Amino acid sequence: MAMRIALIGCGAIGRVIAEAISSGVVDASLECIYDLNTESTQRLASSLEPRPRICQTFEDILGSKADLVVEAASQAAVKAYAEKVLGAGKSLMIMSVGALLEDELFRNLRATAKKKKVKVYVPSGAVGGLDALKSASIGKVYEVKLITTKHPRSLKGAPALEGLEGLDWDKKMVLYEGNAREAVKKFPANVNVSAAIALAGVGADKTTVKIVSDPGIKENIHEVYVRGDFGACTFRFKNLPSPDNPRTSLLAALSAIATLKRLSSSVEVGT
């Protein structure tokens, strides 16, 4: 039987995923959808054929027939729902991966998933090359560095910038330099990629992150530098923002779809 999916979060990423399922790009059925914002849920449901069931509460998701729940909402959603989803015997795909850099939460999710014989999936998101980083990290890795450069409109509103006055957004400037653990707290909607890179590589404390605001660009640029016993590699992504959310790269939504295709397919390509 085809995989049955429930979706939490009907924003930019959720919509693209839902459309891929209902149009048959992914061999699965979209059982039900949920969002705190009921207008978003209604709008998405009415644009899909077949129309998924709308969940009025998160608990409706737990009671659904879905085998896999896709989170495309927020770090807060992961903290509030992830363990309950796994506890209900459903696998979980997480887009707000920054939440997983909280060690206690991650440990609990791992333990519950193991106990219930279900899985947590973290798509590569807005970057690629995680296969090489995972392979490299089997050996010794000395450095993993991410430099993310975005247009100011993609960065404004981040908690790290609250109360900061006098920033000259017309100039290119470095907004953050530190590790991935802190970066996902200070810029929760902007550097989920740093979390995926940290989990695939050397962890939240050793992965270094620099966030740059540049009014002269329209893309979200992610540059990843890795150095280890294997040698060195560099990845550079020049992503176009999603039309519905400038903070989100379209590639992140496509990566979620690619993961769902892999899970629902009988052939797997690549590591």
Residue 24 C-beta: closest distance to ligand NAD, Å: 22
Distance CA 156, CA 211 (A): 12
Nearer to ligand NAD, 148 or 213 (CB): 148
Residues contacting ligand NAD: total by CB under 6 A: 32
Tell me: does residue 11 bind ligand NAD (CB under 6 A).
yes
Beta carbons within 10 angstroms of residue 205's beta carbon:
12
Contacting ligand NAD within 104-133 (CB under 6 A):
125-126
Q: What are phi and psi of 145, to 5 degrees?
A: -130, 135
**93 part of the interface to ligand NAD, by CB under 6 A:** no
Task: Sort residue 166 into left (φ over 0), alpha (ψ -120 to 50) or beta.
Answer: left
Distance of CA 70 to the CA centre of its chain: 10
Give the sign of the dihedral formed by CA 80, CA 105, CA 99, CA 29: negative
Residues 54-83 that bind ligand NAD (CB under 6 A): 72-74, 76-77, 80
State which residue, 77 or 109, has the beta carbon closest to ligand NAD.
Answer: 77
Tell me the residue ranges of DSSP E strands in the chain. Answer: 3-8, 28-34, 53-54, 68-71, 91-94, 120-121, 141-150, 173-179, 207-213, 220-228, 231-239, 241-242, 245-249
The helix/strand/coil state of 251 is helix
CA distance 11 to 17: 10
Give the C-alpha separation, 233 to 227, whole Å. Answer: 7
Question: For residue 160, what is the DSSP state?
Answer: G
Does residue 52 interact with ligand NAD by CB under 6 A?
no
Q: In the complex, what is the shortest distance from the CB of residue 105 to ligand NAD, in angstroms, rounded to a whole number?
A: 14
Smallest separation (angstroms) from ligand NAD to the CB of 121: 11
| CB 233, min distance to ligand NAD, A | 19
Which of 15, 151, 222, 247 is the catalytic position? 222
Query: What's the min distance (Å) between Cβ of 76 and ligand NAD?
Result: 5
What x/- string results for residues 32 through 51 when contact with ligand NAD is judged by CB under 6 A? Answer: --xxxx--x-----------
Which of 95, 100, 113, 211 binds ligand NAD (CB under 6 A)? It is 95
Q: What secondary structure letter does DSSP report for 240?
A: P
Among 226, 252, 257, 263, binds ligand NAD (CB under 6 A): 252
Spatial distance between the Cα atoms of 206 and 236, rounded to a whole number of angstroms: 20
222 is catalytic: yes
Asked if 180 is part of the footprint of ligand NAD (rule: CB under 6 A), the reply reads no
Check if the beta carbon of residue 4 is closer than 8 Å to that of residue 32: no
Positions touching ligand NAD (CB under 6 A) are: 8-14, 34-37, 40, 72-74, 76-77, 80, 95-97, 125-126, 189, 192-193, 196, 244-245, 248-249, 252
Residues with a catalytic annotation lie at: 222
